[in-house]
Structure 1
């Protein structure tokens, strides 16, 4: 299908847009997919583990069939964001099928919590490849199509780990500080092409990303990932003449932020 932006949605209405969400199989990624689909966005939930993405797609289909959402649509794909060829092929298929790609949400992330003298080079590389190189690779291939189409929006999910540091998280901090820098760089670079780039700096959330690794964590200090997903919708709803380069979303009792 030829790439086109015929009948584009109005700026305040997300209905009909095509969005790729990485790490869409669980946690915040799944919630972003749900929130976008609720607004009538056609979502492609991408995850390293296909079964996770399929669960997200099934949950959206169930809500839509039950009348809870006006028009929830979601496709599930397996995607390794560190594999440039796989990303290029996936984005090419999306554009060929749907005619465009309006939104990319770079959400996929991993973490290894270990002191520097225990952290292996392989672990360091896995975190940096997923959290920083992955968004670069996905953005690079998406931008090729967005430039031709005349616009688009890239949303990078950062973290308070991109602003402050705590012990035993060197790889995660390096990746998220880098992602925030990449996001602001792309914001400056891509504005002339009508492509918006936003970073959502999220505080701690009640998701498996934290809860599975820290079962004793005080969940009252965390926030519902749905609240962060609403911030993604907020930046996407801005008028064409306005872009939000960065927004921070914290729980009221965030322990890593004053």
Structure 2
């Protein structure tokens, strides 16, 4: 297995939930972590926590759906760390309502964050990785990319789209030694679910650290191997058979 020591990894939505768990898992392996989040104070708080364990971490406030901010964020990572070895597209949002109730600007915001954002980040990260001779991109999808339930049309569309984007990137970038993987994450005990569904039984969900450990594993595979897709489910998952 490859070592993550001193590898530079950019994690979007890294301030809390699964993103924070990923940052912590990578930091334990000696990675240098760029924590990107829409909220500066959230990213900075996560960086402060990582630095307590001597991790070289750096906070970046940026909106993944804004091309200028995405380009600036990639440039900032390279300026601070000198390179970019891996990108984890984790940032995501949702709106729980029917299609009839979903406003067009809300649809646009979800698609921009969950799908256009990963596209732009992968586009500009891959340019840097080409210059270095390789790299890795991990896209965090969901069981929502494999089946559908009511009141989540935009979220489903964005995650199914992210799966298609991931498969296209996997096919296109392999010859340039850039690995692309999709992680289908089942329900987790994170604010993304628990803040919106207070009646949800946490016992049905998994610790985000378990999904984060899968991301860590993907980043330590031998150079000659890539896992294109992996699904990580809690044992009592209700959103997947």
The TM-score range, normalised by the shorter chain, is over 0.9
Provide the rounded CA distance (Å) in 2 between the counterparts of 1:205 and 1:231.
Answer: 14
Instruction: List runs of 5+ in structure 2 lacking aligned partners.
Output: none
User: 1:47 is matched with which residue?
Assistant: 37
Aligned to 2:16: 26
Displacement of 1:192 in angstroms is 0.3
How does the TM-score come out when normalised to structure 1?
A: 0.92
Q: 1:206 aligns to what?
A: 189
Q: SS in structure 2 opposite 1:140?
A: helix
Stretches of 4+ aligned residues off by more than 6 angstroms: none
1:145 and 2:128 are equivalent in the alignment: yes
Alpha-carbon contact 1:39-1:72 (below 8 Å) kept: no
C-alpha deviation, 1:77, in angstroms: 1.0
Q: Does 1:194 align with 2:177?
A: yes
Contact 1:19 1:104 in 2 (8 A): yes
**How big is the shift at 1:21?**
0.3
Q: Deviations 1:77-127 (Å, cap 9, x if unpaired)?
A: 101111111111121122133221001000000000000100000110110
Cα distance in 1 between the residues matched to 2:188 and 2:222? 29
The alignment covers a number of residue pairs equal to: 241
CA distance in 2, matches of 1:28, 1:120: 27
Question: Which of 30, 54, 66 is equivalent to 1:83?
Answer: 66
**Deviation string for 1:133-166 (max 9, x for gaps)?**
0000111110111111110000000000000100
Matched, 1:98 2:88: no
2 CA distance for matches of 1:83 and 1:123? Answer: 16
Give me the TM-score of the superposition, normalised by structure 2: 0.98
1:165-190 CA-to-partner distances (Å, cap 9, x unmatched) read 00000000000000011011100000
**Aligned partner of 1:166 among 130, 143, 149:** 149
1:36 aligned residue: 26
Asked if 1:176 corresponds to 2:152, the answer is: no
**Counterpart pick for 1:113 among 73, 96, 111:** 96
CA RMSD in angstroms, aligned pairs only: 0.8
- Tell me, yes or no, if structure 1 residue 225 matches structure 2 residue 208: yes
Q: Give the superposition deviation at 1:12.
A: 1.7
C-alpha distance in 2 between matches for 1:93 and 1:57: 16
Structure 2 counterpart SS, 1:181: helix
Contact 1:200–1:248 (Cα < 8 Å) also in 2: yes
Residue 7 of structure 1 is matched in structure 2 by none
Tell me whether 1:245 sits opposite 2:235 in the alignment. no
2:64 is equivalent to residue 74 of structure 1: no
Partner residue, 1:132: 115
Verify the 8 A CA contact 1:22 1:47 in the aligned structure 2.
Answer: yes
| Secondary structure of 2:97's aligned partner | coil
